[in-house]
Amino acid sequence: MIAATAFLGLVLAGGTWSYPALSARDRSSGRPLTTVALVQPNVPLEETWAPSSKTRVVRKLLAMSREALKDKPDLIIWPETSFPHFYWQLKDLFAEVEEFARQNRVSLLVGAVTRAGDDFYNSALLITPDGYRGMSYSKRHLVVFGEYIPLREQLPFLASIVPIDDFREGETDVIFTLPNGARFSVLICFEDTISGLARRDAANGADFLVNMTNDAWFGDSGQQRMHLENALFRSVENRRPLLRATNTGETCAVSSGGKAGPCVEDDRGRRVLVDGITVLRVGGVGVRSFYTKYGDVFTLACGMGILIIVIWRVSNSRRVKADG
């Protein structure tokens, strides 16, 4: 027991010492430093898809992004589905977003719905100073009953209970490259709770991870904090900074050691149901963690070790009883 406690203490101390904060190791690895602005617009759910509010929502995001320009960001990140409705049907409004990126020589990462044939996707679009050139990532892991109905054809009555159309899953991993050479990947909504997705992105060369999510569904509840705390593990596992841009909270940067901050918050320190921006500088850590290289090998080895101990104890107990 003492040995196990001592070992755990050494692991915790080593992690804290090696990966302290976003402003230290995450900014000094030799990879390109990128100034990033995270935007939290705090748009109520009922306004997100209301036809009367689409222009107001986008222009609020543009106004907040304009405020961030004083810090000269390389990249501005908006939340999941931040561009309302279908961008190809709102060409003039989407052109305003492209013109903002072009005039200010800044890249924008925008959440939007995309389409390929008859299939629709929950996507992230990268708009560079040269405009949108089809650089997008589509969500690989969808929310059941939120983005698709399972067994729709076999159980058609479910469609009347949950009247939604199905999104399609993205089929490819995507690593975006910024004009300055920095590389990053995107995890949409609760994809930041799925360790395998972040591991693949880190292995594919992402310098940092981005999580775009809405979370307005949770209102003013502890679910917002729980989602952030799940995201911390993706940074620690892969030794990669993770930047979260959410609609209503909590919008935070997470260091490669799992420390959250800076975050969007008001004067009272409130992070949920407030709007604001936070700007930070981030770079790739330049190392591949054990988990990034080998995945769940350590966990499986621990499980096998426990199984072997249990089998040995049971066998030994039976042998003692037989001898007695």
Residues assigned a catalytic role: 80, 139, 189
Q: Which residue has the tokens 């949108």?
A: 132
Integer CA distances (angstroms), 264 to 45, 250, 320, in order: 19, 7, 62
Q: Which residues pair with 121 in a beta bridge?
A: 114
What number of CA atoms fall less than 13 Å from residue 219's CA on the CB side?
2
Q: Which residues pair with 187 in a beta bridge?
A: 211
Sheet strand arrangement including 131-138: 131-138, 119-128, 107-116, 75-77, 34-40, 276-282
Contact 169, 140 (CB under 8 A): yes
The Cα–Cα gap between 76 and 255 comes to: 18
Return the structure tokens found at 317: 């107990």
Contact 18, 257 (CB under 8 A): yes
The Cα–Cα gap between 271 and 166 comes to: 32
Q: Which residue has the tokens 């921006």?
A: 277
Neighbouring residues of 304: CB distance < 8 A, sequence distance ≥ 6: none
As a dihedral over the C-alpha atoms of residue 200, residue 202, residue 208, residue 213, rounded to 10 degrees, the angle is: 20
Q: Residue type for 26, please? A: D
DSSP secondary structure letter of residue 49: S
Contact 45, 39 (CB under 8 A): no
DSSP secondary structure letter of residue 81: T
As a dihedral over the C-alpha atoms of residue 56, residue 57, residue 60, residue 61, rounded to 10 degrees, the angle is: -150
